[in-house]
Amino acid sequence: MAVVVVGGHSRNVGKTSVVAGLISALPEMRWTAFKITQFGHGMCSANGEPCDCETAEHAVAVSEERAGATGTDSARYLEAGAVRSLWVRTRMGDLAEAMPRIRKELAGAENAIIESNSVLRFLRPDLYLSVLDPATEDFKESAKRYLDRADAVLVAEGVLGRPEWKGVSLKLVEGTPVLAMHPPEYVTAEVVAFVVERLKGRE
């Protein structure tokens, strides 16, 4: 079984589009896809809505997407051709609580693709791709922590240039392959070839 993790440094940089693009490009992998979301204080892990609950049963929620037309990220995975799609929600910092369920689902998967940075704290995937947008200043701590572990970074037009990021050294990706995205095409033939080659090399 292959496990691919797709992360990124902020919201709306194309992570979900990359996951969906890989699922669509490699249907023979029969992907089980995971979307991992960590909510901050005042948000409920059960449904992602504002709440005041701080009870243990609201620390983690896992739901399987059943329909491909709901507009959610996990539905996009199904539409792209995933065999299964799961949305994992936890409170910020509580991902460890969800790992037993995630590992159980991984055990039953042919191949898995996970949208997350923080999951790298708990597992070592066969491939980690980081989606970067030099024009977006926000840079999650989880993305910074694991950036030097990326097997490749995906950047629009393949140009990092002079990013707007503060306190992030490009030395973290020195020598790391930079693959071009051409939005709305986030997964090019080059990206697919890279993924296939790396996964074959780890068999």
Confidence of residue 131 (pLDDT cuts 50, 70, 90): very high
Which 3 state secondary structure label does DSSP give 108?
coil
Structural domain count, the chain? 1
Q: What is the pLDDT of residues 17-55, one digit of tens each?
A: 999 999 999 999 999 999 999 875 444 445 555 554 444
Q: What is the pLDDT of residues 46-80, one digit of tens each?
A: 555 555 444 455 578 999 998 777 778 999 999 99
Here the CATH number for the domain that contains residue 83 is 3.40.50
**Higher model confidence: residue 59 or residue 167?**
167
Q: What is the pLDDT of residues 134-156, one digit of tens each?
A: 999 999 999 999 999 999 999 99
pLDDT at 59: 73
CA 127/CA 193 separation, integer angstroms: 13
Q: Which domain holds residue 153?
A: 3-201
Count the Cβ atoms, other than its own, within 10 Å of residue 180. Answer: 14
